[in-house]
Amino acid sequence: MTLKIRLWPVILIVCLGIGGYLIYLLIQKQKMLNLLIPEVTEITLIKANIHQDTAFVEVNTIVVNKAPYPMNIDSIVCDLSLGGTKLISTSQYVGLRQESGDTDSVRFSVNIPISHTRNKILSLQDQDSTGITIEATIVYSGLKVPFIKSKKIEVPVPPKFKVIKTEKKVKLFKKDIQAQLFLGIINEGKNLSLDLHDLQYRITIGNDLASKGKFPMDVSIRPQSSQVLKLPLNLKMKHPLATIFKVIGDKDRVPFHLMLSGYLDAGKMKRIPTVIFASGYMEIVNEQKKKAEKKWEKEKKKEERKEKREERKER
Cβ atoms within 10 Å of 257's Cβ, excluding its own: 14
The answer to whether the beta carbons of residues 177 and 200 sit under 8 Å apart is: no
Q: pLDDT of the chain along its 315 residues, tens only?
A: 344 444 444 454 544 444 444 444 343 444 444 444 566 666 665 555 556 667 667 777 777 777 777 877 788 777 777 777 777 777 778 888 878 888 887 777 777 776 777 777 777 666 666 676 777 777 776 677 776 666 666 666 667 777 777 666 655 445 667 778 888 888 877 767 778 888 888 888 777 778 888 888 888 888 888 888 888 887 766 655 555 555 544 555 677 788 888 887 766 566 776 777 777 776 655 544 545 555 667 777 777 777 777 777 766
What's the CATH number for 37-154?
A: 2.60.40.10
The answer to whether the beta carbons of residues 13 and 21 sit under 8 Å apart is: no
**pTM flag (> 0.85):** no
- Side-chain-facing half-sphere of 54: CA atoms under 13 Å: 7
Distance CA 277, CA 163 (A): 11
37-154 and 160-292, same CATH topology: yes
Sequence ranges of the domains in the chain: 37-154, 160-292
Distance CA 295, CA 182 (A): 26
What's the CATH number for 160-292?
A: 2.60.40.1820
Please give the backbone phi and psi of residue 171, each rounded to the nearest 5 degrees, phi first.
Answer: -110, 110
